[in-house]
Chains A and B, each alone.
Chain A
Amino acid sequence: MKMSVLLKKSLVLVAALILAISVVSAHADGKPEKVTVIYGGSSWLGHYPAWVGIEKGLFKKYGLGVLFQNFYASSGRMGSLVAGDLDVASTGSISAIALMASGSKGFMAFGTQDSYATVEGIIAKENTKNIQDLKGKRIAAPFASSSHVLVLDILEQNGIDPDKDLDLVNLKVNEMPAAMGSGEIDACAAWTPHFNKLLNMPGNHMLVNDTEFSLYKKYKLGPGPDLLVVRKEFAEKYPNTCQAFVKGYFEAVDMLINQPEECAKVLVKLTNLSMEDQMTVLKDIAWIKGSEQKNLMVQPGGFVTGMQRLAEFLVRHKQIDSAPDVKRWIAGSMVP
């Protein structure tokens, strides 16, 4: 009996030693210490590079297997990330800022992969010709999203009080076409692909898009820019794995810039869009290369400053209690 316990303990010790040696040697070789990365995504355009990287074998080139986990909303994805179920993710920055404001130090940001100023905006019926016409009307936006922020900002710029001058309702983007069609709402704020669908409905027109957002005018920052995030513990424990992921990821970004049609062929599996619609969405995105990340993320560049202003905007509109110091969440070592 005692022998068997001793044997078990010895085996566990040997296994732990082998694991430790392999991690240390992998670290020294520059090879990924961990060969599977769990990525949190969705069919939103911000996740295209991760999907292309997986489908085109770009991560595999660096010895990585990436497991793509789907989430409906950024908040669920970020919750899973800090709970330790995901290693890397892309998120809408409002969720990331809210999580920073909650005091969570469990994640870091290492890049921003795209900007999409023309695929999100406020769409209204014909009789609403300008922003002032929204007074007294019912306008829908998904609360706690970039579209909600866009509406609050545009109303603020035009001196309209969202609590008194109009009826602002909380509606999911996929429920907007039916509500607009039935006349229950007069205007709505949405993002692609529902944005295009709403825009193409007869009698609808675009009032404003993200280019009218106050921070876009100053910092080229949309109301909820995409942000690449990593679990802090993961980044500290597996630096080579993170570097390999970053390399594969930004090669996918390059591929999206240089071979959009090739990428669209694999993206339709994720988005369920037609090839034609997929190409239209791709044309609206400006991808940000790996070589441009340092200027945006580390300097700190316009992106980090813009994010800080966005956090202050959220505080001003009573969405979060206090603005975090955004630059403290930047993982400088992972920025390519």
Chain B
Amino acid sequence: MKVDSTAKSLTISIVSLLIFIGAWELVCRLGFIEPLFMPPPSKILYRAMKLIDNGQLFVHTLASTRRVMVGFVVSSVVAIPFGIFLGSSRFFMAVFDPLISLLRPLPSMSWIPLSLLWLGITETQKYSIVFMGSFAPSLLYIIEATKGIDPLLIRAARNLGASKLDVMREVILPGSLPQIIAGLKVMLGIAWTCIISAELVAAREGLGFMIMNGKEYFQTDTVLLGMVMISITVMIIDVVFRKFERRLLPWTR
């Protein structure tokens, strides 16, 4: 029964996507939209085939994926323990709150001048842009997830003689983990939005570079292909993330 409904939903999604692509192609072919502003899907597909043929699409996708994953993993590794720590300590939360509030609204692009001065035109500079763009929002997700633990559970554990470490390991961590993982999934998408900023300077590969270089040469099909590739890559990573989540949190299935 469940398989039937999943197959039905999938069929509806595929049909709606095909109708959308067909309508887009038709509108472009009939000349309602100038190709410079919106090329037809067939032109984007043709560009994709060309870039697959010379290996460039793979090179660009791999470069961006590497930059996003390094920046995002480092950001998560720092944000998870720090966020849990801040979420469970009112004092330290009060100490760091102003700093987090200052960092949170800064767009990844605003870090370019400083990152260039500190790290130069290196790969580390690109990782740092992704890191700075995703760190503060990740931290907030984790703090909120930690704060969301029922205080009654913590008090009950303490009354039963659990140490601070036990409370952290047995109550706070398992309780907040599903929300932390959900937050990290959202943050992974945000980390990908930083890739344009990360690849604006001193890059000659990557999907962000491909999009910006395509823009300079008015190759709108390249621009759209880069955007589609970002979406596809995020979707693939999301599927992998879900599998990982199911293994890590079997009780959420």
Given A75-B215, A179-B121, also A104-B36 (CB < 8 A): yes
Distance, CA A169 to CA B217, complexed state (A): 18
Whether A274 is near chain B, meaning CB under 8 Å from some CB there, is no
Closest residue of chain A to B47 (Cβ to Cβ) is A321
**A144 touching B120 by the CB < 8 A rule?**
no
* Chain A residues closer than 8 Å to B148, beta-carbon distance: none
**A185 touching B34 by the CB < 8 A rule?**
no
**A102 touching B219 by the CB < 8 A rule?**
yes
| A144 CB contact (under 8 Å) in B201, B202, B213 | B213
Distance between A162 CB and nearest chain B CB, rounded to angstroms:
10
**A169 touching B218 by the CB < 8 A rule?**
no
* Chain B residues closer than 8 Å to A184, beta-carbon distance: 120-122
| A171 CB contact (under 8 Å) in B36, B37, B202, B209 | B202
CB 8 Å contact bits of A103-119 with B (1 = contact, 0 = none): 11010000000000000
**B218 touching A182 by the CB < 8 A rule?**
no
Distance between A149 CB and nearest chain B CB, rounded to angstroms:
12
Distance, CA A73 to CA B218, complexed state (A): 13
| B120 CB contact (under 8 Å) in A82, A106, A182 | A182
Distance between A187 CB and nearest chain B CB, rounded to angstroms:
14
CB 8 Å contact bits of B88-132 with A (1 = contact, 0 = none): 000000000000000000000000000011001110000000000
Whether A178 is near chain B, meaning CB under 8 Å from some CB there, is yes
* Chain A residues closer than 8 Å to B203, beta-carbon distance: 169-170
Distance, CA A185 to CA B227, complexed state (A): 31
* Chain B residues closer than 8 Å to A98, beta-carbon distance: 216-219
**A171 touching B218 by the CB < 8 A rule?**
no
* Chain A residues closer than 8 Å to B36, beta-carbon distance: 82, 99, 102-104, 106
| A143 CB contact (under 8 Å) in B121, B204, B218 | B204
**B217 touching A320 by the CB < 8 A rule?**
yes
Distance, CA A102 to CA B215, complexed state (A): 11
Distance between A65 CB and nearest chain B CB, rounded to angstroms:
29
**B213 touching A171 by the CB < 8 A rule?**
no
Interface hits, A10-26 → B, CB 8 Å = none
CB 8 Å contact bits of B50-87 with A (1 = contact, 0 = none): 00000000000000000000000000000000000000
Distance between A93 CB and nearest chain B CB, rounded to angstroms:
13
Distance between B201 CB and nearest chain A CB, rounded to angstroms:
7
**B34 touching A104 by the CB < 8 A rule?**
yes
* Chain B residues closer than 8 Å to A168, beta-carbon distance: 204
Interface hits, A133-172 → B, CB 8 Å = 140, 143-144, 168-172
Given A103-B35, A184-B120, A184-B121, also A171-B201 (CB < 8 A): yes
* Chain A residues closer than 8 Å to B34, beta-carbon distance: 104, 106
Distance, CA A144 to CA B220, complexed state (A): 15
Closest residue of chain A to B219 (Cβ to Cβ) is A102
**B216 touching A79 by the CB < 8 A rule?**
no
Closest residue of chain A to B218 (Cβ to Cβ) is A102
Whether A214 is near chain B, meaning CB under 8 Å from some CB there, is no
**A144 touching B216 by the CB < 8 A rule?**
yes
Whether A78 is near chain B, meaning CB under 8 Å from some CB there, is yes
Distance between B131 CB and nearest chain A CB, rounded to angstroms:
20
Distance between A211 CB and nearest chain B CB, rounded to angstroms:
26
Given A143-B204, A169-B204, also A78-B217 (CB < 8 A): no
**B218 touching A172 by the CB < 8 A rule?**
no
Whether A175 is near chain B, meaning CB under 8 Å from some CB there, is yes
Distance between A152 CB and nearest chain B CB, rounded to angstroms:
13
Given A102-B35, A178-B116, also A140-B218 (CB < 8 A): no
Distance, CA A95 to CA B219, complexed state (A): 11
Distance between B121 CB and nearest chain A CB, rounded to angstroms:
5
**B218 touching A75 by the CB < 8 A rule?**
yes
Whether A319 is near chain B, meaning CB under 8 Å from some CB there, is yes
Interface hits, B14-64 → A, CB 8 Å = 34-37
| A175 CB contact (under 8 Å) in B122, B201, B209, B220 | B201
* Chain B residues closer than 8 Å to A73, beta-carbon distance: 216
**B218 touching A170 by the CB < 8 A rule?**
no
Distance, CA A103 to CA B221, complexed state (A): 13
* Chain A residues closer than 8 Å to B116, beta-carbon distance: 175, 178
Distance, CA A321 to CA B116, complexed state (A): 33
Closest residue of chain B to A103 (Cβ to Cβ) is B35
**B218 touching A79 by the CB < 8 A rule?**
yes
Distance, CA A179 to CA B39, complexed state (A): 38
Distance between A175 CB and nearest chain B CB, rounded to angstroms:
7
Interface hits, A273-287 → B, CB 8 Å = none
22 contacts between A and B (CB under 8 A): A73-B216, A75-B216, A75-B218, A95-B216, A98-B219, A99-B36, A101-B218, A102-B219, A102-B220, A104-B218, A106-B34, A140-B121, A143-B213, A144-B213, A144-B217, A170-B201, A171-B121, A171-B202, A172-B201, A175-B121, A179-B121, A321-B219
